[in-house]
Structure 1
Amino acid sequence: SELSELYTAFIAKRNPLLSPLAVQYADYAIWQRSFMGGELLAKQQAYWVRQLSGLEPLNLPLDYPRPAVQSKRGAVTEMMLDPKLASQLNSLSRQQGVTLFMTLFSAFQVLLYRYSGQEDICVGTPVAGRRRREIEELIGFFVNTLAIRSDLSDTPAFTTLLQQVKNTLLESYDQQDIPFERVVDAVIKERDMSRGPLFQVMFVLQNTPDASKLSLGDTKFSIAEAGHTTALFDLTFTLHEGSTGLLLSVEYCTDLFTEGTVLRMMTHYEQLLHSIVADPSAEIGSLPMLLEAEETILLDVFSGTSADYPRDKTMLDLFMEQVARVPEAIAVSYQGEDLSYRELDKRSSQLGYYLRSKGVKEETLVPICINRSLDMIVGILGILKAGGAYVPVDPAYPQDRIRYTLEDTGAFILVSHSDCSEVCQSGTIEVIELDRDAAAIANAQSVSIVARSAHQAAYVIYTSGSTGRPKGVLIEDSNVVRLFETDQPLYDFNETDVWTMFHSFCFDFSVWEMYGALFYGGRLVIVPRAATQDSTLFGQLLLDEKVTVLNQTPSSFYVLQDYLTSHAAHVDIRYVIFGGEALNPEKTKPWKDLYQSCRL
């Protein structure tokens, strides 16, 4: 309005009619400088430190690897949301006693939760900073940035999350005077140059009047689109509220996302808004966000051809079939020591009896903290034979993680070995040492053990905890049986195969390695820890043991490939099976050219 009045007065050759300003921008700058050294600053800084401490970065699925230094290359894409949504969302906001921004912001956090799987979400949002009436009409930059953190754990109802976000935003507005860079300095001790501090995504609602409504005499204005090639954050979602509804504009980093990915994310956000309007009390994890065509692809196209499997069989059933079929064949090898299927069955059965006498029963969670050895496999099968579910614990893990796992499982008994049992000692847990307690285990009386069921818990593997506390994932016998036994098998594994147990038994790849050998009568070679960290040692082991089935993550395989292709013209390996991360087929060319009979 001031610009219009100044223009009109200039054309009319008169003095402009402007209201006197109560303060100048210099007055605001002086106030802010004095504030930044005062008690109020310390109070607000303490609030933000308390609010944002321990925050993990947001890990959205990316199209490209994240650069070591944050990229600023970007683009913008936009779409008009369903015109009915604006009025529906405004109505919902009034019913819930919140603003439209709070509703849209909460929905955005749900989107991030659904995409990332993280429950602790932090999003940046700007505030105008004009909290005093005296500066509302003052020209100048007052905008500040707030980092809004929300807890989406336990899949709350959307209305519950909305009230949480409302309270957090209102608290944050009261603490908005401290400059954002001061908050960053107070909270962040070590900067990660690959991403922005505190948050990586921004959310903005623009509800200012359209620029096209500006009038300067007879002069008409039109909006000119400018090329956009930068991005301050990974993603910035901006909603423009206008007379025709809500326009969604997304600025994105082109070194992280493709336009197609961003457009899908925008569509999913719109679908989430529809779902929220339809059922605002629904849990955030169940709010539909896929288009009908996407659901069809996931449920019908990607489901593939169904394959049956022995639904009543257990992991022990498959193992015992091999004990009966090839009892004298070598089941497990480790550094020159072997166990036949008959010996492995006998020793694991004795352990099962012993554990049963100690109170282990169906689905008892039994941690096993042990180094790589023949006893590792004996311990695992013994726990299964007692009816329990084994929980692998790596003795090399930090003490805090081991303690957390033992507490989280509520275990009363643990299987270990004298060379590592000290790391898992607890006053409330009985520790069975397979070497020192060998005589007691061998003399354990045979007891009646209830046969395992296909839907019984077999093992629990904990996540890495990179996005918070580790979470235990419980797997049933039927899941493992289904992995190997189908009426349309992908592989022809047999008793002549030699497998390696390369990966830690705390990593789910180890399940494929262990039982791939034991369910088909093959031989499992446990790889010493030193060889897992040295491609030369591991490559020589593969040649010496005449390994036929190799399981690797692509990154480990590329290094191993360099050694083998330069030192061995022939290998016995007939399958290399990849997992854990994306494979670059181009990098496997040296292997395919030299070992043409091996299937990757």
Structure 2
Amino acid sequence: MSVDVFPVSSGQERMWFLSRFEPDLAVYNVCLWMPMPRDADPELVEGALAALAKRHEPLRTTFDFRDGQVVQLVHAGVPAALATTDLGALPAPEREAEFDRIARDDAGRPFALDTAPLWRARLVRLDEDDLRLVWICDHTVFDGASSAIFVDELYEVLAAAAAGRPPDLPELRIQYADYAAWQCGRLTDEFLAGELRYWRRRLDGLPADLGLPADRPRPAVRTYGGGLHLFSLPPELTARVDRLAKALGVTPFMALLGAFKAVLARWAGRDDITVGCPMSGRVLPELEPLIGMFVNAVLIRTDLSGDPSFREAARRVRGTLLDAIDHQEMPFERLVEALRPQRDLSRPPLFQVAFNLVPSDTRGQIANGTTKVDLSLDLNVREGRMHGRLEYATDLFDAGTAERLAGWFQEFLAAAVRDPDRPISALPLMDAGERERILAASRGPSMPLGAGTVLGDLLTGAAPDGSTAVIAPDGGTLSSGELHARANRLAHWLRSQRVGPETPVAVCAERSPELVAGVLAVLKAGGVYTPLDSDHPWQRLAALVADSGARLVLTQSHLSGRLRNLPARLVPLDEDAAWRDLPDGEPARVNRPGDAAYLLYTSGTTGRPKGVVTTHEAIVNRLEWMRRSHPPGAVVLHKTPISFDVSVWELCLPPVCGAALALATPGGHRDPSYLRDLIKERRVTTAHFVPSMLASFLAAEGVEECRSLRQVICSGEELPRDLAARFADRLPDAALHNLYGPTEAAIDVSAWRCEPRASGPVPIGRPVPNTALYVLDERMAPVPAGMPGELHIAGVQLARGYHGRPGRTAASFVPDPFGPPGSRLYRTGDLARRRADGAIEFLGRADTQVKAHGVRVELGEIETALAEHSRVERAAAALREDAPGGPGLVAYAVWSGDPGDITKVLRDHLSRRLPPTVIPQAFVPVEALPAGSSGKLDRAALPSPAGAGRRTLGTGYRAPGTPMEEELCAIWRDLLGRDRVGALDDFFELGGHSMLVVELINRVRAAFGVELPLRRCFEITTVEGYALEILERRLGGQDLDRLLDDVAGEPGP
């Protein structure tokens, strides 16, 4: 048969390239099914399909790459083979599921664009009255609008054949190839330059990512896996949206897009919202009846800053949409090439969310398990009701998230039509019932506390007098009776020094039995325990003592010399002559639940420490909750410096629950090997670690011998999932608990027991008894499950406030709109979201999230990926102003390999796990990561990355070093029109683009006999990368790294 060759349209060229990029995926299949007349036999349907293929040239078109250009080949005819399937033999209840399976299978097979036809059809009979046609066509020759044309014309051809008459179809004055030729002539350099000027202005500063909170980190390379959620709006809401659009002077499309954008803005927490919308591209009347690929993606960017009303938001959307329509002929692929966003295989370029109001019926669309973007919402009105198809990337989102998003959209629309003049932030995303369920899930269970109970009541000794209460660092022990006797005598002496309620007493001592007795004595005396870290500079300690107003500092004689300048009286705990002969009975209780129990200083954003005042009621609730899981006979490790809040429960829990307290030697909390030995020797059952220290502890040899451990508590930092999994592998008999809470709420207010085989982020859990955890928006309104917000704490564990700082207290402790009059909320500054099961996920500090290349970045995600490398013991990431080449991300690693290899090895490692936008610019090997006295990573103390290598390979010229690199450089010079190309130069940075990559693949095939997949060429973008890839493919799967090591005379890793 004859074949005619024509140029392709811009849309066809884009689809051809994308098909080459993902040849094994059916991402760009158009898939639908339609009911057939019950008596339509296969021969009749096959004839109708052949008639339509004869009428519409795209249905008999294939594609080829010739002389550096994609061309379309229009065949005189194509085989119209029709597959048939009869499900009549199956039980009736099973037929629908089997039909779905067959349809999805047909839809999931990609087409080879050089083989005709680029469509397939199957006639499926479910029963005598139910006959269906499954139609799958490649997007290169068929767009969404073509579906309605195809269905209408197929029905007409079938009806005409049945009636014995010619079909009544509109005349086709032109064919698709005519349109392609017309478009090629229209898209002149001058025309495109004018369009590009508009789009450059419109998209200036466009973020690389919309920043939607995903259920999983974005993979380095997207899989295109997709899920589908179907929903519908009530008829009355559909009608009201129509009426509202008319009242606002906008189209229904604009009103619906405005609502969708407003929901996205709330979800992402940003005002700059860009959504891709398909434009039909049928800009001439002659194009209306044609089947083919006309659609073009247009970016609709809307500024929703200033919290506009819905009326105003719709007006803004109208303006941006009308402007975009005026400039819709700029081919999307040309726009991408001109704007040159960073090549990123993890996300689609320029936009990740699509929206469309589809005029044709969407019921027959077949989901084939793929998606082109992160989220895509198609709306269609039929029979007076609006129906939605929400496709979502399964790389990022769970089905429940898509379902919630659809629910938010519906609730927002309903609120917007009721009151379009309310600010969009005030329009609810959930109904009253869901709001009440969210509030109920925000509150912890009720737990009775004894009336008037204060901490002294709990410390009176739950263990028998003869049981071991304290195990000193040197192995010496103190019984419960001895400990309380010492503490009581000292408490009586403190009373004689006018210590009582609201009297601060500083304690500055190293871990020792004297320290434990001193802390208990202050609390038994009714004073305010004020811990000071003896490792801190005396000037800082002097400032804290002065700020607290403490008149006494309980310390140790060997520390007295360096503390002698403190503005208070020093009382050495190991010189007890002043109280040795005082009574050892319990002092009378003088406290009330609202009295201050301890005053603990935390770092302040201004550099001035904040003293947090915690009441007896707050810490009693905390300890009562915790003691239920600690039976008598437990051994609790005390290793946290006393200036950190965790030390309060480490010191107070054992006497409360009758456990022994094992003390780590001063400084021992930083040594994983020492802690391993101590836990084994003291048979410790409960220990606390910040996650970064837990990682070092688990890396210690022999840690699995710590079989006495029953509970390990983590808090203070985000707990990575891989660390929880390593814990389960190394210590399978111990439970790992992830706790969360600030000093301002008596240490911890939520808890989660980690499940060894769970996936996804480790939650911080649910609120502990008598507390509440609310996730709120900027209006202090609860947000739906799945939506991020700021975490707020309520309940009995709230601190009184900041000592001597009423302004700061008022700013952080605000009225509780959900509690009784006079109750308060603490604003944590932490971002979180509530899962559907009620557990809360920590999303990071609102003030420490960083942005790189316009993308919001969680440093923990980078650190987790770094830690997965076998040569990385510990890792950290930071956004540094002094990064090589300007502000950017820097990675730090405790690295066991050759320091000279760290950049290449870790860059390659991360490139397989993370998007390129979040791969650090520099990699710095360090002997150890800086840590504060609590063991937490001290990010501010990370060293300067000066001198570290850049991530981008093309930052310096390196001449080709091998004959293969020389030949590749020559090919690049010819293709790119460059005088000089080096081994480290990046193809795209030198001006390469997608279609030029196709020609490069052809040149490589001719020169080296190697076929490079198109997708791989976007991952290896340098001459050096190509040379290694070609060599590896020539070696046929051998281990290239090991082979190169052998050639160099070095052992492999």
Q: TM-score by structure 2 length?
A: 0.36
The one-letter code matched in structure 1 to 2:621 is: Q
Structure 1 residues 423-434: aligned runs within 5 Å:
none
Match of 1:488, SS state, is: helix
How many matched pairs?
A: 442
- Report the counterpart of residue 726 of structure 2 in structure 1: 587
Structure 1 residues 110-509: aligned runs within 5 Å:
110-208=262-360, 210=361, 226-305=366-445, 324-327=505-508, 337-339=535-537, 344-348=540-544, 459-460=604-605, 485-490=618-623, 497-499=638-640
Match 1:43 to one of 172, 194, 197: 194
Q: State the distance in 2 between where 1:556 and 1:160 align.
A: 51
Q: State the distance in 2 between where 1:300 and 1:347 align.
A: 44
Match 1:98 to one of 246, 250, 254: 250
Evaluate the alpha carbon distance shift between residue 231 and residue 295 of structure 1 in structure 2; reply closer, same or farther with a 3 A threshold: same
Does 172-181 or 58-67 show the bigger shift?
A: 58-67
The answer to whether 1:563 aligns with 2:703 is no
Native 8 Å contact 1:326 1:521 kept in 2: no
Q: State the distance in 1 between where 2:611 and 2:382 align.
A: 56
Evaluate the alpha carbon distance shift between residue 283 and residue 481 of structure 1 in structure 2; reply closer, same or farther with a 3 A threshold: farther
Q: State the distance in 1 between where 2:259 and 2:638 align.
A: 52
- CA shift, 1:205, in A, is 0.6
Q: State the distance in 1 between where 2:227 and 2:237 align.
A: 26
The one-letter code matched in structure 1 to 2:698 is: Q
Q: State the distance in 1 between where 2:437 and 2:343 align.
A: 41
- Report the counterpart of residue 356 of structure 1 in structure 2: none
Evaluate the alpha carbon distance shift between residue 346 and residue 106 of structure 1 in structure 2; reply closer, same or farther with a 3 A threshold: same
Evaluate the alpha carbon distance shift between residue 556 and residue 344 of structure 1 in structure 2; reply closer, same or farther with a 3 A threshold: closer
Q: State the distance in 2 between where 1:105 and 1:191 align.
A: 28
Q: State the distance in 1 between where 2:342 and 2:710 align.
A: 45
Q: State the distance in 2 between where 1:56 and 1:541 align.
A: 47
Evaluate the alpha carbon distance shift between residue 237 and residue 11 of structure 1 in structure 2; reply closer, same or farther with a 3 A threshold: same
Return the index of the structure with the highest Cα Rg: 2
- CA shift, 1:153, in A, is 3.0
- CA shift, 1:542, in A, is 6.3
Q: State the distance in 1 between where 2:229 and 2:391 align.
A: 7
- Report the counterpart of residue 87 of structure 2 in structure 1: none
Native 8 Å contact 2:341 2:350 kept in 1: no
Native 8 Å contact 2:712 2:736 kept in 1: no
- CA shift, 1:89, in A, is 0.5
Native 8 Å contact 1:332 1:526 kept in 2: no
The answer to whether 1:539 aligns with 2:672 is yes
Evaluate the alpha carbon distance shift between residue 597 and residue 69 of structure 1 in structure 2; reply closer, same or farther with a 3 A threshold: closer
Q: TM-score by structure 1 length?
A: 0.60
Native 8 Å contact 2:637 2:664 kept in 1: no
Q: State the distance in 2 between where 1:38 and 1:574 align.
A: 69
- CA shift, 1:164, in A, is 1.2
The one-letter code matched in structure 1 to 2:726 is: K
Evaluate the alpha carbon distance shift between residue 17 and residue 575 of structure 1 in structure 2; reply closer, same or farther with a 3 A threshold: closer
Evaluate the alpha carbon distance shift between residue 86 and residue 131 of structure 1 in structure 2; reply closer, same or farther with a 3 A threshold: same
- CA shift, 1:189, in A, is 3.2
- CA shift, 1:230, in A, is 1.5
The answer to whether 1:552 aligns with 2:693 is no
Q: State the distance in 2 between where 1:526 and 1:154 align.
A: 54
RMSD, aligned α-carbons: 4.9
Evaluate the alpha carbon distance shift between residue 521 and residue 75 of structure 1 in structure 2; reply closer, same or farther with a 3 A threshold: closer
Report sequence identity in percent. 29
Match of 1:30, SS state, is: helix
- CA shift, 1:203, in A, is 0.9
Evaluate the alpha carbon distance shift between residue 481 and residue 147 of structure 1 in structure 2; reply closer, same or farther with a 3 A threshold: farther
Match of 2:640, SS state, is: strand
Q: State the distance in 2 between where 1:93 and 1:351 align.
A: 61
Q: State the distance in 2 between where 1:110 and 1:287 align.
A: 10
- CA shift, 1:28, in A, is 2.6
Match of 2:294, SS state, is: coil
Native 8 Å contact 1:240 1:246 kept in 2: yes
The answer to whether 1:577 aligns with 2:718 is no
Higher relative contact order (CA 8 A, sep 6+): 1
Q: State the distance in 1 between where 2:732 and 2:169 align.
A: 81
Native 8 Å contact 1:75 1:252 kept in 2: yes
Native 8 Å contact 1:333 1:526 kept in 2: no
Q: State the distance in 1 between where 2:611 and 2:421 align.
A: 36
CA-to-aligned-CA distance 1:464-520 (integer Å, 9 cap, x gap):
xxxxxxxxxxx9988x8599944411568xx9944269xxxxxxxxxxx84545999
CA-to-aligned-CA distance 1:348-378 (integer Å, 9 cap, x gap):
477999xxxxxxxxxxxxxxxxxxxxxxxxx
Match of 1:228, SS state, is: coil
The answer to whether 1:33 aligns with 2:184 is yes
CA-to-aligned-CA distance 1:140-173 (integer Å, 9 cap, x gap):
3210001222223332222221111111111111
The one-letter code matched in structure 2 to 1:290 is: M
Does 234-243 or 14-23 show the bigger shift?
A: 14-23
Q: State the distance in 2 between where 1:245 and 1:586 align.
A: 48
Native 8 Å contact 1:329 1:521 kept in 2: no
Q: Unmatched 5+ residue regions in structure 1? A: 212-222, 311-319, 354-453, 462-474, 502-512, 532-536
Evaluate the alpha carbon distance shift between residue 106 and residue 525 of structure 1 in structure 2; reply closer, same or farther with a 3 A threshold: farther
Evaluate the alpha carbon distance shift between residue 122 and residue 558 of structure 1 in structure 2; reply closer, same or farther with a 3 A threshold: farther
Evaluate the alpha carbon distance shift between residue 126 and residue 525 of structure 1 in structure 2; reply closer, same or farther with a 3 A threshold: farther
- CA shift, 1:21, in A, is 5.3
Q: State the distance in 1 between where 2:610 and 2:355 align.
A: 42
- CA shift, 1:101, in A, is 0.6
Does 108-117 or 483-492 show the bigger shift?
A: 483-492
CA-to-aligned-CA distance 1:529-555 (integer Å, 9 cap, x gap):
xx9xxxxx76368679999975534x7
Does 121-130 or 26-35 show the bigger shift?
A: 26-35
Q: Unmatched 5+ residue regions in structure 2? A: 1-151, 453-500, 512-530, 550-598, 628-635, 653-662, 739-752, 754-1053
Q: State the distance in 2 between where 1:484 and 1:515 align.
A: 16
The one-letter code matched in structure 2 to 1:326 is: V
The one-letter code matched in structure 2 to 1:283 is: P
- CA shift, 1:570, in A, is 9.0
Q: State the distance in 2 between where 1:34 and 1:580 align.
A: 58
